[in-house]
Chains A and B, each alone.
Chain A
């Protein structure tokens, strides 16, 4: 029998910067269950205090290479030991800052990795350590501990800190990882790109595209907003990593993606100048901000177009599929027209849906429309179905600003209902 496993394998602990101080293993497990995840990364295993909490709260799950909560069988959440590291180095006289995700199958392996990495920078200063080493050096050190370990580029397209980033990245995976590219099997697409965007680069065909939240909190509008869906006979570290390594569509079924426009770096722009431009518009301005005359923060869509050798419609038929969703709290906030998904009114509706259907993914993916209508008001049910059917639009994010969900206008209405936030972005027409 195949077991469906929804996995978010890149999150952070409270020891990473800009994270919630309540971010504990137990809280992660609690909210991951509400979200509908079955497997979640621990994040930050390189941090000594977080590794201590991992040892104190988790126990090996029958030698599967995964971990579970000690003495808490009512939360059947499995954990994989994961971390993210930043390498800073010089390549061809250019400064490079690249983030990488690392998986490992046991605490012993994690300790061995930490013993190696602590020579390149402090592991206790940040849950996501900054390492004074090149990307290939990092891969070599991690793989020397065990070839069971897995390492791949994190959020591969964000302008800063990524392998293809417009500001400190590369034009190819091989340039970044050199002779260690042979150990790279996957690439994390990040919020601002999705599989179809990545399929446009034929040189990425051999890599499996994975999706994770990179969440800095346990809130359900962050954790699990992107995830990977597997169907496995046994839920083990080896099965998950092997499905990724071999791009096995029988086991790695699909990824859960937000609309790439929701990501904070989808379009090119300047946050402070309120300028947001599509790739074509940005090129007309030679990527110079029409307000402040400085170089714009190049968005992911433009960067993909720069490197693509295939048209936008290209489909990789050998790759796992994908499904576009939005966090349920964001959908409810949009319907209620409130700025934050954390308001009480949103939580009230959220909790009633989760209480009725079991978890958030079930609400988003499986709950029948008629039943949704019996639990919540019609506009909320209609919005959930619209997201599921892909009939919503998102005003693209840019330069650190999240995209904004736009729901279809009710019948007879003329203008779309722009929700969450009232800041009007400027576009090309405003500058002619």
Chain B
């Protein structure tokens, strides 16, 4: 099936349509609006990693839709991604379904490099089954 990033094209297009039709999403809202909710270093690093990857994989509009979804379904704000990584992981899984593990990996890779951590070392420390939230915490705790 034709895909746009990890999403199938029909799903991606329907997300786009939903976003544009949605009265809740102001198209003029920029990334600074989400950034304004951030304070601690960890919060900003995790948010940046998530934001970079989502924009790259599903595009800017769908990324904003993901943030709205996380807030309405899980009461999770972008400023809480670092402290509530398990809720973020659950939200990504619910939204992206089978595409979530790939997105999680990409987010962790981005986060590892921003924290100056070698991926393999972090993965070796990971408990099986693979746990996104513990990896996020590991990265923040071992940031160089």
Where the two chains meet, the residues of A that have a C-beta atom closer than 8 Å to any C-beta of B are 88-90, 93-97, 119-122, 125, 130, 132, 167, 294-295
**B90 and A88 form a contact (CB under 8 A):** yes
**A132 and B134 form a contact (CB under 8 A):** no
The segment from B25-33, B48-56, B69-77, B104-112 that touches chain A is B69-77
Q: How many residues of B contact A (CB 8 A)?
A: 20
The segment from B7-15, B37-45, B59-67, B125-133 that touches chain A is B125-133
Which of A88, A95, A294 has a CB less than 8 Å from the CB of B128? A294
Which of A93, A121, A295 has a CB less than 8 Å from the CB of B75? A121
**A90 and B75 form a contact (CB under 8 A):** no
The complex places the Cα of A185 from the Cα of B84 at a distance, in Å, of 29
The complex places the Cα of A167 from the Cα of B87 at a distance, in Å, of 16
Expressed in whole angstroms, the minimum distance between the Cβ of B41 and any Cβ of chain A is: 18
**B129 and A120 form a contact (CB under 8 A):** no
> In the complex where A295-B128, A295-B129 touch, is A95 in contact with B86 (Cβ < 8 A)?
yes
Residues of B close to A90: CB separation below 8 A:
83-86, 133, 137
**B72 and A97 form a contact (CB under 8 A):** no
Residues of A close to B128: CB separation below 8 A:
294-295
Expressed in whole angstroms, the minimum distance between the Cβ of A84 and any Cβ of chain B is: 16
Q: List 15 A-B contacts (CB under 8 A).
A: A89-B86, A90-B83, A90-B137, A93-B137, A95-B86, A95-B131, A95-B134, A97-B86, A120-B75, A121-B73, A122-B73, A132-B75, A132-B87, A294-B129, A295-B128
Residues of B close to A167: CB separation below 8 A:
129
The complex places the Cα of A294 from the Cα of B127 at a distance, in Å, of 10
Residues of B close to A121: CB separation below 8 A:
73-75
The residue in B87, B94, B137 that gathers the most chain A C-beta atoms within 10 A of its C-beta is B87
The complex places the Cα of A88 from the Cα of B73 at a distance, in Å, of 13
The complex places the Cα of A120 from the Cα of B73 at a distance, in Å, of 9
Residue of B with least CB distance to A95:
B86
The complex places the Cα of A93 from the Cα of B141 at a distance, in Å, of 10
Expressed in whole angstroms, the minimum distance between the Cβ of B122 and any Cβ of chain A is: 14
Residues of A close to B94: CB separation below 8 A:
130
Q: Per-position contact with A for B82-105: 1 when CB-CB < 8 Å, else 0?
A: 011111011000100000000000
**A130 and B90 form a contact (CB under 8 A):** yes
Residue of B with least CB distance to A297:
B129
Residue of B with least CB distance to A133:
B75
> In the complex where A121-B74, A122-B73, A125-B73 touch, is A94 in contact with B134 (Cβ < 8 A)?
yes
Expressed in whole angstroms, the minimum distance between the Cβ of A113 and any Cβ of chain B is: 16
The 5 tightest CB contacts between A and B, nearest first, are A95-B86, A295-B128, A95-B133, A122-B73, A132-B87
Known: A90-B84, A121-B75. 8 other contacts (CB 8 A): A89-B84, A89-B87, A93-B137, A96-B86, A125-B73, A130-B73, A132-B87, A295-B127
Residue of B with least CB distance to A93:
B137
The complex places the Cα of A130 from the Cα of B94 at a distance, in Å, of 11
The complex places the Cα of A229 from the Cα of B12 at a distance, in Å, of 51
Residues of B close to A89: CB separation below 8 A:
84, 86-87
The complex places the Cα of A167 from the Cα of B76 at a distance, in Å, of 23
Residues of A close to B74: CB separation below 8 A:
121-122, 130, 132
Which of B72, B85, B86, B87 has a CB less than 8 Å from the CB of A122? B72
Residue of A with least CB distance to B131:
A95
